[in-house]
Amino acid sequence: MLDDLAHTLHTTLDALGGQVDGVLFLIDEADKPDAEAGLGEFCKLFTERLSKRECHKVSIGLAGLPETTDRLRQSHESAPRVFEILQLKPLSADDALYVIRKGLSESKEKSDVEVRVTDDAQNLIARLSEGYPHFLQQFAYSAFECDKDNVITDTDVLDGAMGEHGALQQLGIKYFQDLYFAQIFSDEYRGAMPVPLLELSGGLIVS
């Protein structure tokens, strides 16, 4: 199947001549698949087959959290060499505010309902997110969900962040839960941190 795909792309690009610059494959959330999905192996073998055909107008772009490189390596040891690694810096405060306003503008176009966000609320969302786009999206979404009068205030932002099923809980589950439990159950962590047991009502509480 890889040979067929490489052959099809090569012949198609030859037939198009100079009408297009090339073909770009973009894969988002590339950190999500486990090693068995074979993403690293696919990227490595696919690009090798294209190179053998001297087809140099095909690119693969992956987007994901920093562990994307490890995911690729687990599937194929040399897969990361296929890519040029670009680390995206957090958004500036101005960029974060732009994203918030852009989201509100698109929401109005789709629903015909105008939702305003106070300056204090916008600045609080930007500050809580620390410029990380996925954090920004979650804090803004949770504040939007808490709003009842189409005016998002800093109170809505805080309620959306700290309430049940709020932004902090959602971010913790999505991005930090595995890391946290992996550490506390490791032999190194348990050896370094003694766990006192407190007796209460005939039972034991681990603290």
Q: Where are the domains of the chain?
A: 2-82, 90-207
Give the gyration radius of the chain's Cα atoms. Answer: 24
**Looking at the predicted structure, is the pLDDT value of residue 132 above 70?**
yes
- What is the pTM assigned to this prediction? 0.61
At 186, the pLDDT band (50, 70, 90 cuts) reads: low
State percent of the chain over pLDDT 70. 86
Query: 3-class secondary structure for 40-86?
Result: HHHHHHHHHHHHHCCCCCEEEEECCCCCHHHHHHHHCCCHHHHCCCC
Q: What is the pLDDT of residues 87-113, one digit of tens each?
A: 888 999 999 999 999 988 888 888 888
